[in-house]
Structure 1
Amino acid sequence: MIRNIAIVLHPGFQLLDTAGPTAAFEMAERFRPGSYQLRVMAPGICRATARVESSFGLSLAAEPLRDGPFDTILVSGGEIIRSMAAAQQIVAWAEERDGPAHRQRLLGRFPARRGQPPQALRRARA
């Protein structure tokens, strides 16, 4: 059975928060082919793929946020305050997929200058 994994980026994401889980699923897939299908996605992308800049300045290719189903959703940590529009899109997208069959995780820390991260992102930490 293939497990669909969504790794969600945003402008200012932490490269390690994305590379670590991606490498772990890649290695697992090598040992058990057909187990995982990874999608690296980001909000605000209008074409098939585009590049999203990390907090360090390196960019990764991502596709637009899309419907699943996804078994696991991982939202990369980092400087999400660079784009509150991206944060709002991620929250709305994740809330549409909220349910008992899905696991959602927030990776790293989302620094908040004034206040806390959005409610859905706090809930995703659990």
Structure 2
Amino acid sequence: MIGVVIFPDFQLLDAAGPISVFEIASRFARRAVPIRVMAAIPGPVRSSSGAEMLARKFASPAVITTLIIAGGEGVEAAARDACTIRFVQAVARRGSRVASVCSGAFILAEAGLLDGRRATTHWQRTQQFLATYPKVKLEPDQIFVRDGAIWSSAGITAGIDLALAMAADDFGDGIVEQTARQLVLYHRRSGGQSQFSSLLELKAPTGRFGPLLTWAREHLDAPLTVDQLADRAGMSARHFTRAFITETGTTPSKAIERLRIEVARARVQASNEAIERVAETTGFRDPERMRRAFIRAFGQPPQALRRAARAG
């Protein structure tokens, strides 16, 4: 049985995405796989969208082969619920596959299942997670992470990537390829979740600073001071800074650092280029400055991200 744990204010797609993957995969495999949505308090459970999902009581851990835990706005309250934590721990003790989607990793961590293990969660929750659970080897830029029988995934739709990988273990790649086509998805999505965070926020393709940011990304080896950016935008530095913050939600200097981090991360993970050279050509100049920026953004230094990429 596949169990899906939800709670008040859960993210609907965190549960519905993996359920759909297993539903379609089992149909193609012609192998019935029971799926049970469960909650500490059974009955209609309201998601953060207001839509409800009907949950049953927690099943016996002995019948659960895979447990998937949703995330969402209500995850912190769920992580404090003793009944939920005991249930998750009981399933894990049997050696069953246990997984989290998005911020559901907080429940796994609270249950002690991630101590000393590799894991991931939604990019917006990275700093909070690192501060709360320092024993976890968080890999913030991964779409999903598997460490033994414990799986975790990044934000929301990454739960579908995780479920496809699980289904590949259960039914084989052929069935999963059919499933992905049916869902109109990539079988395996490339890249890390940071590509869906800071760069998408900063590109602002329809905003007036979109072309400026595109130009800046192509000239990261230049100083890119506020005065330079303002001059290119045809504004005074003061007016430019105010307008930029209003449109993008961040300062020009922070935006440039985030662009540098993203380009540097891609080069660190995809090549054998010296870290010093990456720092120089992406505008960090000093490798130590780049290291500090990586730790702020990803919770890990460049060398750790490179090792993880090679291991993957």
When normalised by structure 1's length, the TM-score is 0.76
Match for 1:44 among 41, 50, 54? 41
SS at structure 2 position matched to 1:10: coil
Q: 1:117 to 1:37 in 2, by over 3 A?
A: closer
2: distance between equivalents of 1:111 and 1:101? 18
Superposed CA RMSD in Å reads 2.6
2:97, 2:66 → 1: CA distance?
5
Give the total of aligned pairs: 115
Give, in whole Å, the separation in 2 of the partners of 1:99 and 1:59: 30
Picking from 14, 20, 44, the partner of 1:17 is 14
Alignment pair present for 1:72 and 2:66: yes
Question: Is 1:8 equivalent to 2:1 in the alignment?
Answer: no
CA deviation profile, 1:64-106 (whole Å, cap 9, x unmatched):
1120421110010112235566x33211111112236301111
Instruction: Give the 3 Å change call, closer, same or farther, for CA 58–82 of structure 1 in structure 2.
Output: farther
Could you tell me which residue of structure 2 aligns to residue 120 of structure 1? 111
Q: Find the structure with the greater CA-based Rg.
A: 2
Paired position in structure 2 for 1:59: 52
The whole-number CA distance in structure 2 between the counterparts of 1:5 and 1:111 is 18
Contact 1:78 1:111 in 2 (8 A): no
* Higher RCO (CA-CA < 8 Å; seq separation 6+): 1
- Equivalent-residue separation in structure 1 for 2:105 and 2:90 (angstroms): 24
The residue identity in structure 2 corresponding to 1:58 is A
The answer (yes or no) to whether the contact 2:9–2:47 under 8 Å persists in 1 is yes
Distance 1:7 1:121, change over 3 A: farther
- Matched residues in 1 for 2:13 and 2:112: separation? 19
Paired AA for residue 8 in structure 1: V
Structure 2 vs 1, CA of residues 76 and 110 (structure 1 numbering), >3 Å: closer, same or farther? closer
- Amino acid aligned to 2:28: F
The yes-or-no answer on 1:92 pairing with 2:86 is: yes
SS of the residue aligned with 1:25?
A: helix
Corresponding position of 2:144: none
Q: For the structure 1 residues 121 and 27, does the alpha-carbon distance in structure 2 shift closer, same or farther, using more than 3 Å as the test? A: farther
Q: Separation in 2 of the partners of 1:52 and 1:61?
A: 6
Higher helix share: 2
Q: Aligned AA for 1:63?
A: R
* TM-score of the superposed pair, with normalisation by structure 2: 0.33
Opposite residue 39 of structure 1, the aligned amino acid is R
2:79–2:85 contact (8 Å) kept in structure 1? no
User: Structure 1, residues 29-77: CA drift from partner, whole Å, max 9, x if none?
Assistant: 21123341101111122xxxx1000011110111111204211100101
1:53–1:110 CA distance, 2 compared to 1 (3 A)? same
- Describe the shift of the 1:111–1:73 C-alpha distance in structure 2 as closer, same or farther (beyond 3 A): closer
Matched position secondary structure for 1:64 = coil
Taking structure 1 as reference, are residues 76 and 83 closer, same or farther at Cα in structure 2, changes over 3 Å only?
A: closer
